[in-house]
């Protein structure tokens, strides 16, 4: 059965803001553009082989979420050269504390970034990408019940730290 898909440019025009917003929310300001670009590249490669055009936005956001996970994993594997590791850690902590005091939203997002990976992705998909639990479940390759649990646990962890 052949599925009639709209031209890929129509997909880009309709959803580029959603993809960019999710990429920046999941990967941060440094890697957000790269994650969005990677997501669009993967989507373009897979687009001709799609078997359904029912939920193209969800499909794109799933790709974006997975690209962000790949970026986080890649960042964890990169070495960061430093002559005095303790001095770098102290300076980074002091800058983060000063930034958090000036911008309350920064403090919240810093705590979101400290959540376990799956909880962080679930919370961002729910409250930034505005996905429902079945869509979150597809993006995280889990069940809707587990996506509810991940969001709930993530919010509970945030309440402990912020309150």
**Would you say the C-alpha torsion 5, 8, 11, 15 has a positive or negative sign?**
positive
What integer pLDDT is reported at residue 139 of this predicted model?
86
- The burial of 140, by beta-carbon neighbours within 10 Å (0-12 exposed, 13-18 middle, 19 or more buried), is given as buried
The position carrying tokens 């962890």 is 157
Q: Are 28 and 136 in contact (CB under 8 A)?
A: no
What integer pLDDT is reported at residue 17 of this predicted model?
93
CATH 1.10.1740.10 fits 1-78, yes or no: yes
Cα 39-45-51 angle, rounded to 5 deg: 105
Q: What is the pLDDT along the chain (163 residues), one digit of tens a residue?
A: 567 888 899 999 999 999 999 999 888 888 899 999 999 999 999 999 888 888 899 999 999 999 998 887 777 666 666 666 566 555 555 555 555 455 557 778 888 888 998 999 999 888 888 888 998 898 888 999 999 999 999 999 998 887 6
What integer pLDDT is reported at residue 128 of this predicted model?
83
What integer pLDDT is reported at residue 85 of this predicted model?
58
Evaluate if pTM is beyond 0.75. no
What integer pLDDT is reported at residue 71 of this predicted model?
85
One-character DSSP codes across 102-131: H-HHHHHHHHHHTS-HHHHHHHHHHHTS--
Alpha carbon 85 to its chain centroid, in Å, reads 29
Structurally, what CATH architecture does the domain formed by 115-163 represent?
Orthogonal Bundle (1.10)
Tell which residue, 57, 13, 17, has the closest CA to residue 36.
Answer: 17
Asked whether the domain spanning 115-163 has the same topology as the one spanning 1-78, the reply is no
Could you tell me the residue ranges of all domains in the chain? 1-78, 115-163
């Amino acid at each position: 059965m052949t599925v009639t898909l709209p031209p890929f440019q129509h997909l880009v025009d309709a959803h580029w803001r959603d993809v960019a917003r999710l990429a920046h929310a999941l990967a941060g300001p440094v890697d957000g553009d790269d994650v969005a670009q990677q997501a669009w590249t993967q989507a373009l490669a897979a687009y001709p082989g799609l078997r359904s055009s029912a939920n193209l936005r969800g499909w794109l956001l799933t790709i974006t979420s997975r690209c962000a996970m790949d970026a986080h994993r890649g960042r964890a594997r990169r070495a960061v050269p430093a002559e005095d590791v303790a001095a770098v850690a102290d300076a980074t902590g002091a800058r983060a504390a000063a930034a958090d005091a000036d911008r309350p939203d920064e403090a919240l997002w810093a705590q979101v970034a400290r959540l376990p990976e799956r909880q962080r992705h679930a919370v961002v998909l729910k409250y930034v990408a505005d996905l429902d639990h079945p869509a979150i479940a597809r993006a995280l390759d889990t069940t809707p019940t587990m996506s509810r649990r991940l969001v709930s646990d993530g919010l509970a962890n945030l309440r402990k730290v912020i309150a």
